[in-house]
Amino acid sequence: MPDRVKGKVAIVFGAGSSGPGWGNGKAAAVLYAREGAAVACVDLHAKAAEETAGIIAGEGGRTIAVAADVTDPTSVEKAVETTSEALGTISILHNNVGVTHMGGPADLSEEQFQLSVDLNLGSVYRTTKAVIPQMVEAGEGAIVNISSLAGIRWTGYPYFAYYATKAAVNQATVAIAIQYASRGIRANCVMPGLIDTPLIYKQISSQYASVEEMVAARSAAVPGGKMGDAWDIAHAALFLASDEAKFINGVCLPVDGGQSCTVAGLR
Ligand SMILES: NC(=O)c1ccc[n+]([C@@H]2O[C@H](COP(=O)([O-])OP(=O)(O)OC[C@H]3O[C@@H](n4cnc5c(N)ncnc54)[C@H](O)[C@@H]3O)[C@@H](O)[C@H]2O)c1
């Protein structure tokens, strides 16, 4: 099904990857472009944004790379301005930036807690604030926020701030979806389950004796016996962003191989 978002302009915050291979944001940016969108690849690290934009350009897509920090409102506004000037009115906003700080309330520093709020939830606030006026003016837009299964379930890791902020992303998405529904704008979440992306080797592996143990344990927790990959998340996002999902609004879609249907520990 080619050209599923043809003619649209997408802005992906967190379009780089925190390591070699395919992260969720990088795969989504490339997939939007493969399906016909012009894509702004935004990342804190210019090189990461440029790498993704380079892949898109190499496949003949229309793209720009933008360095911006989602915790800084001025930086976000500038990225949005640069995108609309270069590519046109933004019709797809994709929020992928997220951080996992391990620890319960007694373990987390004030700084780690604030950073979790600022990155995971604040990013959705700032990017939506910057993009939504042009969507309202155009009378159309689709927002896809990457939340987590941790927004609705205890996943086994002691990351208090992550649970709390991802739950907030879910309800923030509902709030946007309903307030702006009459203006032609939809907002939905993808809730990834256990996904094999570069991020887990940086932010999750500390919970295990070895990387091999982490991969085995995470795979075993999924009903199908295997973690998902970045393309599983990207394809769900593509569907939600496309007109195929025109009657889907305010949904938080688990992409987890069915894990959220199970009772933990009884497999
Ligand atoms: N991998 C999993 O198992 C899993 C599970 C559930 C949810 N998620 C969610 O998926 C998302 C991340 O997926 P990914 O694989 O693309 O991660 P990633 O770490 O590979 O990519 C995130 C990108 O965001 C960028 N970034 C970080 N801070 C930024 C900032 N302040 N401003 C702009 N960009 C910034 C990073 O440089 C990086 O390139 C997160 O929201 C995460 O919570 C992942």
Ligand 1 contact, 237 CB (< 6 A):
no
Per-residue pLDDT at 1 exceeds 80? no
Res 119: pLDDT: 98
Query: Ligand 1 centroid to 23 CA: how many Å?
Result: 7
Confidence (pLDDT) at 147: 98
On the question of pLDDT at 39 being above 90, the answer is: yes
In this structure, the residue with its CA closest to atom 22 of ligand 1 is 14
- Supply the pLDDT for residue 146: 98
Helix axes 46-58, 24-34, angle to 10 degrees: 30
Residue closest via CA to ligand 1's atom 15 equals: 23
pLDDT at 13 over 90: yes
pLDDT band at 263 (very low <50, low <70, confident <90, very high): confident
> Does the pLDDT of residue 16 top 60, yes or no?
yes
Q: What is the pLDDT of residue 2?
A: 72
pLDDT at 161 over 90: yes
Which one from 32, 125, 162, 163 is the annotated catalytic residue?
A: 162
Pocket test for ligand 1, best of 12, 22, 42, 44 (most atoms within 8 A of CB): 44
pTM for this model (two decimals): 0.98
pLDDT tier, 112 (very low <50, low <70, confident <90, very high otherwise): very high
Q: Which atom of ligand 1 has the smallest separation from the CA of 149?
A: 6
For residue range 82-110, what is the model confidence (pLDDT) as tens digits?
Answer: 999 999 999 999 999 999 999 999 999 99
Protein residue closest via CA to atom 33 of ligand 1: 44
Mean pLDDT of 221-239: 97
pLDDT at 264: 64
Q: Rounded mean pLDDT of the chain? A: 96
pLDDT at 48 over 80: yes
pLDDT in tens, 123-142: 999 999 999 999 999 999 99
Which of 97, 208, 253 has most ligand 1 atoms within 8 Å of CB, for mutation?
A: 97
Q: pLDDT > 90: what percent of the chain?
A: 97
Answer whether residue 266 shows pLDDT above 80.
no
Annotated catalytic residue 201: no
Domains with residue ranges and CATH for the chain: 9-195+230-256 (3.40.50.720)
pLDDT of residue 267: 43
Distance 96 CA to ligand 1 centre (A): 6
Closest-lying ligand 1 atom to the alpha carbon of residue 28:
16
Return the residue matching tokens 């894990």: 259
Question: Cα(87) to centroid of ligand 1, in Å?
Answer: 24
